[in-house]
Structure 1
Amino acid sequence: MISKWNYLPLSPEQDAIKKKLVRELSLSPVLCELLVQRGVTSITEAKKFFHPQLSDLHDPFIMNDMDKAVERLDRAMGGKEKILIYGDYDVDGTTAVALVYKFLRNFYSNIDYYIPDRYDEGYGISKKSIDFASENDFKLIIALDCGIKAIEKVAYAKSKGIDFIICDHHMPDEDLPDAVAVLDPKRTDSAYPYSHLSGCGVGFKFMQGFAINNDIEIKKYLYPLLDLMAVSIASDIVPITGENRILAYHGLKQLNTCPSLGLQSIIHLCGLKNRELTISDIVFKIGPRINASGRMQSGKEAVDLLISKDMEGAKAKSENINQYNEDRKKLDSQITNQANEIILKNCKDLDKRKSIVIYNADWHKGIIGIVASRLTELYYKPAVVLTYSNGLVTGSARSVQGFDIYKAIEYCRDLLENFGGHTYAAGLSLKEENIPHFINRFESYVSENILPTQMSPQLDIDINIEFNEITPSFFRTLKMFNPFGPGNTNPIFCTKNVYDYGTSRLVGRELEHLKLEMVDSRSENIMNGIAFGMHEYNDHIKSHKPFDICYTLEENTHNGASNMQLMIKEIRPSE
């Protein structure tokens, strides 16, 4: 399906900034336009963008309650109290638990960690975990990537003499839990200058504050754990801007030079050894394997792997987790097919409806989030997939670009037992009898608030460019825009009136891909490109008719040689 191609030129004010950067940085106008699009307006900001420095991380004590959290942790360690580190079962939660546990075990041994069972306990802080803490004499629980809405659970823990420190990054309600400290940059009263930290990021800031307060060498004990931060930031799809850019940049450096044994074993298993790892490698290969543990079995196994101290043990654990991922992929495909059958069979008015909500009591709870993502990609509508677990209907919601699904779920809150999440992903639970009411209420909100452009494929072009502007020097500088991700996406270029050089051809087992060699109308530069699954354009291209392409620039490494390649996003005949 051909998307609508969108290109928004710079405003006159932005164009003036671009010209200023061209003069000051001696970079091409194209690169300076990309910088302006990313909010870079001065030579100082450009230096910070191209060379992120850990010294530019914010003071952790700006975050509300940081002083209280550090003081309570100091008191617990000074009094030799048992401390339980608690986290969600997804990648963000398990990396957060691993980071805090690995850091603290350098200085304290009376600690343990706890990951709730997705099926038995569900998302967030569970009563079962508090009972476990009470029975085993834990006096302090550090909750990571969850807890911001756990008002009743924190009160229950307090009645048993257990204190909580909440480290979360989800949207809070008006009332906060009565914890010793609630660290969350999204608090409405937050003074913290960056609100998009991952759950692991909030845990990192807590440990940074603790280290500063206790004169602990951060470079020696905390920065080596930044590989976990990179995995968290990439997997939780948080913006790679501001503080996250610094953490992701240095986290990738750690991941590429000296990863922990657990991550090293996953890297080997993914076939990524001896190559430079990127955010995409984490999103599509490393993250799903860690996530599969919590989806299919137990998130605790993921933490066991991430804190491994010996390579043989790490290898065995990573092989188990890899098998969970293979099982997950089969189940994912099966449930997605069943979901599509339900939609096509029962939704006669699918074209009129602005959302999708489907329910099957037998579906695997650990897969429904992935299935919801598949449905949004297929139908370009916000999707909620529901199943039955532990006496309640539980669901995962996913959104299309630009639509805040958290607000849509929040609009239905009186029908729900629990909910939480972000702009593009949310979780919820409700009673079975409320499903029809929820479907109608959710559809009503989506219909009134979603824009037509959000329900059709759109391709946002960063800049139009000629082939003669793509030089080795240009590509070297472009690579310094990494790490790419939300808020700093890999730039999509558009070149119009492109022609086959005469050597483009179909490739692939079924000749389904196009290997392109192209020139444009302004130069004789021959550019190589690959267009996966676009065989239908072969006749047009070979007829020597002009065509337009949208693409990203990638480094293609083969047999030790490295060259630049256009990764084609879409092709269309030139007007």
Structure 2
Amino acid sequence: MHLSATKRWNYIPQPDPAQVHALTEALFIAPEIAALLVQRGIATPEAAAAFFHPDLRQLPNPLLMRDMDRAVARLARALEAGEKVLVLGDYDVDGITSVATVMSYLTPLFGVERLRDYIPDRYTEGYGISHKAIDTAADNGFALIIALDCGIKAVEQVAYATSRGVDFIICDHHLPGDELPAAVAVLDPKRADCPYPYKELSGCGVGFKLMQALGEHLGLPKEPLHDLLDLVTVSIAADIVPITGENRVLASYGLRRFNEDDHLLRPGLAALRELATLREGALGISSLIFGFAPRINAAGRMGDARRAVAMLLAPDQQEARYTAEVVDQMNQQRRGSDQHTTQEALDMIAGDPVLQNARATVLYKADWHQGVLGIVASRCLDQYYRPTVILTQRDGKATGSARSVAGFDVHTALEACSSLLDQFGGHRAAAGLTLKVENVPAFQRQFEQVVADTLTTEHLVRPVEISAVLPIARITEEFFTELHRMEPFGPGNPNPVFASQRLIAVPHSARVVGTGHLKLRLAAADAQGPALDAIGFGLADYLPQIEEGKPFSACYTVEMNEYRGQRSVQLRLLDVRWE
């Protein structure tokens, strides 16, 4: 395969020049930055000013959320009546941070003896609200359960809780079903009848809004609420929700606790940051995704997710360090398991010509660890860019995770195979499924056929969305400073990708570093402007062509490289091509 065909370069339409000029003049910013703002729907000076200066005063009133008044009234009654409250959350990062957020805020109000956190066991209880959780509450005198990051479809479970004398407040952010649970309050911005203006909160974000509303109802100071923003930001990062609107404001303040105000960072996250040994420089959303989320997730995948809650609630550095080390050890076990399983999966593909030439990957092995299947599916997707399903056996059934390529709806593909499945759920990019073990071969054949019938050749080439074509001379430290004002980057506000044409490598600068990475200094072929350092992860195969000296185009993001106290602008290459 020709190297320049490894990615599909999509150029985002350029914005209205008049709007770009107006923003450039009003805000005294570079036209390239103004163009990025207009591309993202930020087209007025007022909207741009609010974007550049996130402010907690911009947050919508929590009482705009349907049922919030009922939730606050029930929680206030529990506080006044001396009732015990069970705080229940899902076993992933969003659920764990949700529980830690609510426990952090309520403990000074209720006291330790009247609160208990509850995370369901991933393997014995499964996702969401279980009868075991409800029985635990009822048998131990808990009159109220706050369900976080789950519960929007728990109609039967809430009815069972009512029969046992236990009330529910549900805080969720997933799409509701046709019927809502008959809880005291169902907080979910995605409810069709919910007027709350921002729909993309994380589960932890919904829990935060409940605490915000309770604090305002009780007339409490805002500082304890602001102390929750490091947790909310980790949830925003890990759950891949859009970094827009309210999420962007919350994340901006939360990231300050990791960077500028790190003395305010809770001990558990501070200990985790130390163990993660993240590279120098300010932490962004991607640092939380890759440095923090896997460690917190590992507790639920490899053991007891409540250990991660204990880490996040640790009151001092000594206890935080101990619990963080336990969680980090779980993550090392998880990494060992996922690396071993990934290698087995890749070996299965490499050893089977049919699998190598298939349009989809569907692999099954009875002894793979269920907790790493999603990770393994993603790793296989990185190697063979096509829809992927990884299955193992649990409780006599085949169960697993599906991951998809950009633009292909894997949930719809599973729906087409539903006659072979016991259950499935998820969304376009990722899903989970369960089926009878004896149905696995038929499912492999049918899923492959569905994918082959609907997948286009375009789907099989990774897209790169390019915001603008720039002369490399425009990439200066001043340009990066202006670009940096658009952070935090993430879904909905991605780190802009630029392209430059007619580039060459400075002689003798191109080399391979690490495990297949390309390092070089880039310059314009016409020698206009200074040369810039660049690194392309996994792009070492381009080295022979680059050394030939023929000018090429590159697409990249712009970053600040910090090493031993030295700072310099660096390009992170995403792809290279010769015209």
TM-score by length of 1: 0.93
Conserved in 2, the CA contact under 8 Å of 1:255 and 1:277?
yes
In 1, distance between residues paired with 2:80 and 2:436? 45
Say which of 180, 185, 189 aligns to 1:181.
185
Deviations 1:260-299 (A, max 9, x none): 0000000111124974211121111111111111111111
- 1:448-463 to 2 correspondence within 5 Å? 450-463=455-468
- Residue aligned with 2:13, SS: coil
Conserved in 2, the CA contact under 8 Å of 1:552 and 1:567?
yes
Segment drifting more, 168-177 vs 402-411: 402-411
Structure 1 residues 279 and 417, CA, compared in 2 at 3 Å: closer, same or farther? same
Segment drifting more, 202-211 vs 500-509: 500-509
Say which of 22, 40, 43 aligns to 2:42.
40
Conserved in 1, the CA contact under 8 Å of 2:505 and 2:520?
no
Say which of 245, 250, 259 aligns to 2:248.
245
The aligned counterpart of 2:132 is 128
- 1:83-98 to 2 correspondence within 5 Å? 83-98=85-100
In 2, distance between residues paired with 1:486 and 1:205? 21
In 2, distance between residues paired with 1:61 and 1:364? 43
- Residue aligned with 1:550, SS: strand
- Residue aligned with 1:230, SS: helix
- 1:395-544 to 2 correspondence within 5 Å? 395-409=400-414, 418-432=423-437, 435=440, 446=451, 450-508=455-513, 513-521=518-526, 523-544=528-549
In 1, distance between residues paired with 2:287 and 2:45? 31
- Residue aligned with 2:20, SS: helix
The aligned counterpart of 2:82 is 80
The aligned counterpart of 1:59 is 61
Structure 1 residues 240 and 509, CA, compared in 2 at 3 Å: closer, same or farther? closer
The aligned counterpart of 2:150 is 146
- Residue aligned with 1:105, SS: helix
- Residue aligned with 1:366, SS: helix
- Residue aligned with 1:103, SS: helix
The aligned counterpart of 1:370 is 375
Deviations 1:43-83 (A, max 9, x none): 01111111111111111122221112112111222221110
Structure 1 residues 505 and 411, CA, compared in 2 at 3 Å: closer, same or farther? closer
The aligned counterpart of 1:333 is 339
Conserved in 1, the CA contact under 8 Å of 2:405 and 2:460?
yes
Alignment of 1:223 onto 2:229 = no
The aligned counterpart of 1:200 is 204
Structure 1 residues 6 and 253, CA, compared in 2 at 3 Å: closer, same or farther? same
Q: Give the superposition deviation at 1:396.
A: 2.0
Q: Which amino acid aligns with 2:366?
A: A
Segment drifting more, 134-143 vs 339-348: 339-348
Alignment of 1:233 onto 2:236 = yes
Say which of 23, 26, 31 aligns to 1:24.
26
The aligned counterpart of 1:112 is 116
In 1, distance between residues paired with 2:417 and 2:169? 29
In 2, distance between residues paired with 1:263 and 1:347? 46
- Residue aligned with 1:140, SS: strand
Q: Give the superposition deviation at 1:406.
A: 4.1
Conserved in 2, the CA contact under 8 Å of 1:171 and 1:420?
no
- 1:254-273 to 2 correspondence within 5 Å? 254-256=257-259, 257=261, 258-272=264-278
Q: Which amino acid aligns with 1:7?
A: Y
Q: Which amino acid aligns with 1:31?
A: I
Q: Give the superposition deviation at 1:21.
A: 1.6
Q: Which amino acid aligns with 2:173?
A: H
The aligned counterpart of 2:13 is 9
Structure 1 residues 221 and 31, CA, compared in 2 at 3 Å: closer, same or farther? same
Conserved in 1, the CA contact under 8 Å of 2:424 and 2:434?
yes
- Residue aligned with 1:73, SS: helix
Structure 1 residues 288 and 529, CA, compared in 2 at 3 Å: closer, same or farther? same
Structure 1 residues 166 and 138, CA, compared in 2 at 3 Å: closer, same or farther? same
The aligned counterpart of 2:283 is 277
Alignment of 1:388 onto 2:390 = no
Q: Give the superposition deviation at 1:409.
A: 4.5
In 2, distance between residues paired with 1:193 and 1:101? 26
TM-score by length of 2: 0.92
Q: Give the superposition deviation at 1:429.
A: 3.4
Q: Percent identity?
A: 46
Conserved in 1, the CA contact under 8 Å of 2:406 and 2:462?
no
- 1:284-323 to 2 correspondence within 5 Å? 284-323=290-329
Deviations 1:176-219 (A, max 9, x none): 222221111222333222221111111111111212222222x2
- Residue aligned with 2:366, SS: coil
Deviations 1:92-128 (A, max 9, x none): 1100100011011121121110011112211111122
Structure 1 residues 298 and 506, CA, compared in 2 at 3 Å: closer, same or farther? same
- Residue aligned with 2:407, SS: coil
Structure 1 residues 228 and 67, CA, compared in 2 at 3 Å: closer, same or farther? same
Q: Give the superposition deviation at 1:244.
A: 0.9
Alignment of 1:170 onto 2:194 = no
Structure 1 gap segments, 5+ residues each = none
Q: Which amino acid aligns with 2:72?
A: V
In 1, distance between residues paired with 2:173 and 2:306? 21
Conserved in 2, the CA contact under 8 Å of 1:466 and 1:520?
no
In 2, distance between residues paired with 1:531 and 1:342? 29
Q: Which amino acid aligns with 1:323?
A: Q
In 2, distance between residues paired with 1:18 and 1:487? 20
In 1, distance between residues paired with 2:278 and 2:401? 31
- Residue aligned with 2:10, SS: strand
Q: Which amino acid aligns with 2:338?
A: D
Conserved in 1, the CA contact under 8 Å of 2:366 and 2:393?
yes
Conserved in 1, the CA contact under 8 Å of 2:517 and 2:535?
no
In 2, distance between residues paired with 1:510 and 1:420? 37
In 2, distance between residues paired with 1:184 and 1:241? 18
CA RMSD for the aligned pairs?
A: 2.4
In 1, distance between residues paired with 2:271 and 2:355? 49
Conserved in 2, the CA contact under 8 Å of 1:170 and 1:422?
no
In 2, distance between residues paired with 1:402 and 1:563? 36
Q: Give the superposition deviation at 1:535.
A: 3.3
Q: Which amino acid aligns with 2:96?
A: T
Deviations 1:358-400 (A, max 9, x none): 3333211111111121222222223232223245433222222
In 1, distance between residues paired with 2:270 and 2:431? 31
Q: Which amino acid aligns with 1:299?
A: A
Conserved in 1, the CA contact under 8 Å of 2:409 and 2:428?
yes
Structure 1 residues 507 and 351, CA, compared in 2 at 3 Å: closer, same or farther? closer
